Structure 1
Amino acid sequence: MSEVNLMADSSHHATVKMRTLCFIALALVAALLNSSAPTPLYPLYQQQLGLTAVSLTIIYGAYAGGVLIALFSVGNLAGKVADLRSLMMPALLAVFAGALLFSLADSFACLFMARLLAGLGTGALTGAANIALLRFGPKDGGKAAALIATLSFTTGLALGPVFSGVAIQTDFYSQTLPFVLIMMTAAIALTGLRLSWPAHHHDQPRVVSSSSAISADAALKTGLKATGIRFFLCAGALFMSWAFAASILSIGPAVAEHLLDIHRQGVYGYVIAVYLVVAGISQILSRRISARTSLAAGCLTQVISILFFTWAISTHSLTGACAGLLVAGYSYGAIFVGSATLVNMISPASSHAKLISLFYVIAYIANWVPVLLGAVVDHASLNLAIDLLFSVGAFICLLLSITVFWIKMEKRD
C-alpha cells in the first residue's frame, strides 16, 4: 500500500509541476503579447494624436527602458529568492497595468507609460520565469526550459500583431480589444501561478557575500580582458540585429504605407507575425549547428535581407519585401542563438554573470536606434532614414560576418 501511495504522490507532484510550467509559459506569453501588439497600431496613434516620428519611436523605445530598469533593479534577485512568485506576480501586474493604459491611451504620456510598464513587467518576469522553468522542468540540463521559453516568446510576439491586425481590419474596438485580451491572459496566468504553485516547493535563496559584491567590477574587467574582441563581436552583432528588428517594428508601418504602397490597415500585423514566427523557428533550428557558423551566417543573411528590402523599395515590389522579411527573420534567430551561445562559451566562470548582463544591456540599447531614425524622418525624409539604416547596417553586418569567420571564437580563456 505504501508503494502505491508513493506512486500516487509522485504522479500528483508531476501533475502539479506540469500545471505550474504551463502557467509560467502563459505568463511569458502575456508579457510578449504586450510587447508586440502595439506595432500595427502605431500609424493610428500617430494620426489621431498628431505624433511626430521621433515621438512615436520614443514610445517604442520606452519598452527597452523599462526592461533595462527591471534588469538593473530586480534582475539579480531572481536567483536569490525561494518563492519566485514574489517577483513574477508583481511583474504580471505591471504587464496588466501597461495593457490597461494602452486600452485607454489618448496622449503621448499615456502611451509612453504603457510601454514603460510593459518593459518593466517583461524585464522583471523574464529572469524569474526562466529560473522557474529550470526548477520545475525535467532534469535535462535546461534543454526543456530553453525550448519552453523560446516557444513562449515566439507565440507571444507573433500573436500580438495578429490580435491588433484582426481588430483593425474588422474595425472592432481596434485600439482596445487587443489589450483586453492581453489583460485576460495576464489575469489567468496570475491566478494560475497563485493557485497552482506547489505548496512545499522551497528553494533556498543564494546568499552573496559582501566581498563578492565588492569584486563585481573587477570581475567584469577581468572577463572583458579574457574575452577581448570576441565579446564585442557577439554583442555588436546582436545590437545590429535588434536595431534592425526594432526599426522594422517601429517605422516599418510607415515604410509599408509610404514606400511600398500598402494601404490596407491591419495587414502589417500579419506580416510582422510571420517575421516573428520565422525568427522563433530560426532560433530552434540554429541550436543544431555550431554557434560560430550560426552567428556568421546570421550576419551575412542580414546583409542579404537588406539587399532584398532595398530592391523592394526601389521597385515597389511586395515579393521582394516578403523575401527580405523572411530572410531577416532567419537572421534574427541565427544571430541571437549564435551570439548568446558564444558569450556563454568564452566567458570565464568568475565573470560569466556580469558579461551576460552587459551583453543584454548592449542589445537592449539597440531599441533606441529608431529614435535617431525618427529624427531623420522629421527633419529630412523617410527615404533618407531608410537609406542610412540600410547602408550602415549592411556594411557593419558584412564586416561582422567576415571577422567572425576570421577570428577564433570558441576557445575559452
Structure 2
Amino acid sequence: MHSPVALPAQHSRNTLPIAACMLALFTTILTSHMPTPLYAVWQQQWGFSATALTAVFSVYVLGVVITLLTMGSLSDQLGRRQMLIPGLLFILGGAIIFMLAGSIHELGLARLITGIGTGMVTGAATAAVVEMEPDGNWTRGATLSALAFTSGAATGPTISSLTLRWTDHGEVWPFLVAVALCLLTLALLLRADWPAGLGQRQQDFRLRAWRPTPIKVPRALLGTFLFAAAAISLAWSTGSLYSSLGPILARELIGVTDLALAGLFAAGWQLVAGASQFAAQRQPLNRLILVGPLLLIAGVLALAGAVWQESVWLFIVATLTTGMAAGAIGVVATVTIARAAPPAARGAMTSAFYLAAYLTMATIVLSIGFASDRVGLVNSTYGFIGLICCASLGIMLLRRRAQP
C-alpha cells in the first residue's frame, strides 16, 4: 500500500536536480559546438590553414583529456554538484573569450577552457542523472543524458547558423545565449535539493589530501568497457568530421556557398543523431549493434558519392544516414557503460568512457586537417570513409561484448 506512493514522491524530489544536471550537460555541449559554423567565417577573416583550424578544434580535446585524467574520479569523492558548479564557470569563461576573440590564438584559449569545463561536467552530470532515476532505470537515465548531449550539440550550431543569416555580428550573438544558459544552470544547481546519499561528498574525504589519480577500470569489466569505448568512438567519429570541417566540406566539395546553410548540416547531423537515440532506446542492444554499423557504412558511402558527384542531395542523405547510425551506436555504448559501472566507480568509469571518445575525435580531426593540406580535402575525406567502414565491420565482430 505504501510503495506506490513512495516512488512518485521520490521522483518529484528528484525532478529539479535531474533537470539541473541535464541542463548543465546541454549547456556545456551547446557551447562547445557553437563555433562549428563560425570556423569558416574566422578562416576567411584571418586566413589560417585547415591544419590550424583542426588544431583549434582539437585543443578543446586537450582540455577535456587533462581534466578527465586528473579529476575524472573526483566527483565520486567530492560530490556531483561540487564538480558541476566549477565546471560551468569554466564553460562561462570560454563563452566570454569566444565572444571577444580577435585572433586564432584567442580561439585556441577559448577552446581549451571550454574543454576543461566539459571534462568536469560530462562525467559528473551523466553519473548524477543515472543515479537519480528513482526506480533504478539505468537505461532511461543513460538515454536522458545522451539526449541532453546530442540536443546541445544540435542546438549550438543551429543558433550560430541562424545568427550568421539574420545578424551583422554572427560570431558574437551565439555566445551571449551560452552565457545566459550558464547563469541559469548555475542558479538551478545552487537551488536544487540534492537527494540524500546520491553523489554526495564522502565523509572521510579531505580536499587537501586529494591527489590526481589515473582513471582506472575494474579488471573484470575491462572487456565490456573496451567494447563500449570503441562503440562511442565510432559514433563520434563522423560527428567530429561534421563538427570541424562540415561547413567547409559543404562549401568546397559540395558547392554550398551560403555559410549559414553549410553550418546547418552539422546541426542537422546532431539533431538526427539525438532523435535516433530516442527512437532506439527500446530496441535490443544486439539488434542495434548490427543495424547501427551497417547504416554507418551506407551513410559514409553516400558521402563518398556526394563528394564524387558534388551532389547536395547525396550529402543530405549521408548526413541523415550517418546521424541515425551514430545515434543507434551511441545508445549501445551509453547503456552498456551505465549498466556495467559499479556505483563507487561510476564517475571514474564514465570519465574514462568519454576520454576514449574525445581522444579518438581529436585524432580523426587532426589527421583529416593535416592530410587536407598535403593531399587535398577530397582524398583525405575518402581516406576517412575507408577507415569508418573498417571500424564499423570491427564493431560488428565484437558485438558479443554488448551485454556486460
Normalised by the length of structure 2, the TM-score is: 0.85
2:152 corresponds to: 156
**What is the rounded CA distance, in whole Å, between the counterparts of 1:356 and 1:131 in structure 2?**
7
1:98 corresponds to: 94
- 8 A Cα contact 1:103 1:179, kept in partner: yes
1:3 corresponds to: none
Q: What residue identity is the alignment partner of 2:55?
A: I
1:130 corresponds to: 126
**What is the rounded CA distance, in whole Å, between the counterparts of 1:81 and 1:291 in structure 2?**
33
- Decide which structure has the larger Cα Rg and report it: 1
Cα shift at 1:49: 1.6
Q: Residues 346 and 292 (structure 1 numbering): CA distance in 2 closer, same or farther, change over 3 Å?
A: farther
Select the residue among 385, 388, 405 that pairs with 2:380.
385
Cα shift at 1:23: 2.9
**What is the rounded CA distance, in whole Å, between the counterparts of 1:98 and 1:51 in structure 2?**
21
Cα shift at 1:14: 7.2
Q: Aligned to 1:275, what secondary structure does the other structure show?
A: helix
Q: Aligned to 2:135, what secondary structure does the other structure show?
A: coil
Q: Residues 116 and 237 (structure 1 numbering): CA distance in 2 closer, same or farther, change over 3 Å?
A: same
Cα shift at 1:343: 5.2
Residues 26-57 of structure 1: CA distance to partner in whole angstroms, max 9, x if unpaired?
A: 22221111111110001011111221111110
Counting matched residue pairs gives 390
Q: Residues 272 and 311 (structure 1 numbering): CA distance in 2 closer, same or farther, change over 3 Å?
A: same
1:334 corresponds to: 328
Q: What residue identity is the alignment partner of 1:235?
A: A
The reply on whether 1:293 has 2:293 as its aligned counterpart is no
Q: Residues 373 and 96 (structure 1 numbering): CA distance in 2 closer, same or farther, change over 3 Å?
A: same
CA RMSD of aligned residues (A): 3.2
Residues 273-297 of structure 1: CA distance to partner in whole angstroms, max 9, x if unpaired?
A: 2211111122222222222321222
1:112 corresponds to: 108
Q: What residue identity is the alignment partner of 1:267?
A: L
Cα shift at 1:185: 0.8
Q: Residues 399 and 201 (structure 1 numbering): CA distance in 2 closer, same or farther, change over 3 Å?
A: closer
- 8 A Cα contact 2:94 2:110, kept in partner: yes
- 8 A Cα contact 2:231 2:332, kept in partner: no
**What is the rounded CA distance, in whole Å, between the counterparts of 1:298 and 1:191 in structure 2?**
39
1:198 corresponds to: 193
**What is the rounded CA distance, in whole Å, between the counterparts of 1:23 and 1:367 in structure 2?**
27
Superposition pairs of residues 214-293 of structure 1, within 5 angstroms: 220-221=218-219, 223-224=221-222, 227=223, 232-293=226-287
**What is the rounded CA distance, in whole Å, between the counterparts of 1:29 and 1:113 in structure 2?**
22
1:170 corresponds to: 166
1:32 corresponds to: 29
Cα shift at 1:347: 7.7
1:4 corresponds to: none
1:409 corresponds to: 401
Residues 287-326 of structure 1: CA distance to partner in whole angstroms, max 9, x if unpaired?
A: 2222232122211111100111111111121111111111
2:301 corresponds to: 307
Q: What residue identity is the alignment partner of 2:87?
A: A
Q: Residues 351 and 150 (structure 1 numbering): CA distance in 2 closer, same or farther, change over 3 Å?
A: closer
**What is the rounded CA distance, in whole Å, between the counterparts of 1:307 and 1:218 in structure 2?**
37
Unaligned runs of 5+ in 2: 206-210
Q: Aligned to 2:73, what secondary structure does the other structure show?
A: helix
Select the residue among 354, 358, 366 that pairs with 1:360.
354
Q: Which has the higher contact order (CA 8 A, sep 6+)?
A: 2
Cα shift at 1:183: 0.4
Q: What residue identity is the alignment partner of 2:42?
A: Y
- 8 A Cα contact 1:63 1:119, kept in partner: yes
- 8 A Cα contact 1:163 1:178, kept in partner: yes
**What is the rounded CA distance, in whole Å, between the counterparts of 1:304 and 1:178 in structure 2?**
34
Superposition pairs of residues 28-107 of structure 1, within 5 angstroms: 28-82=25-79, 84-107=80-103
